[in-house]
A and B are shown apart, each in its own frame.
Chain A
Amino acid sequence: AQSVTQPDIHITVSEGASLELRCNYSYGATPYLFWYVQSPGQGLQLLLKYFSGDTLVQGIKGFEAEFKRSQSSFNLRKPSVHWSDAAEYFCATGFQKLVFGTGTRLLVSP
Chain B
Amino acid sequence: DAGVIQSPRHEVTEMGQEVTLRCKPISGHNSLFWYRQTMMRGLELLIYFNNNVPIDDSGMPEDRFSAKMPNASFSTLKIQPSEPRDSAVYFCASSQQAPGELFFGEGSRLTVL
Q: Residues on A close to B: CB < 8 A?
A: 32, 34, 41-46, 49, 51, 90, 94-103
| Nearest-neighbor residue (CB-CB) of A99 within chain B | B45
Q: Which of B13-21, B65-73, B77-85, B98-106 contacts A (4 or more CB under 8 A)?
A: B98-106
The distance in angstroms between the C-alpha atoms of A34 and B105, with both chains bound, is 18
| Nearest-neighbor residue (CB-CB) of A96 within chain B | B98
B12 contacts the other chain (CB 8 A) = no
Chain A, interface SS category: loop
Contact (Cβ within 8 A) A45 B104:
yes
Chain B residue total in the interface (Cβ 8 A): 20
The 8 A CB mask of B89-109 against A (1 = contact, 0 = none) is 001010100110110111100
The distance in angstroms between the C-alpha atoms of A51 and B101, with both chains bound, is 12
For this complex, 16 residue pairs linking A to B, each with C-beta atoms less than 8 Å apart, are: A42-B106, A43-B4, A43-B91, A44-B102, A46-B101, A46-B102, A49-B99, A94-B99, A95-B98, A96-B95, A97-B45, A97-B48, A99-B45, A100-B42, A101-B42, A103-B43
Contact (Cβ within 8 A) A43 B33:
no
Contact (Cβ within 8 A) B99 A51:
yes
The distance in angstroms between the C-alpha atoms of A90 and B98, with both chains bound, is 19
Contact (Cβ within 8 A) B43 A96:
no
B31 contacts the other chain (CB 8 A) = yes
Chain A nearest CB from B86 CB (Å) reads 19
Q: Which of B42, B48, B98, B104 contacts A43 (CB 8 A)?
A: B104
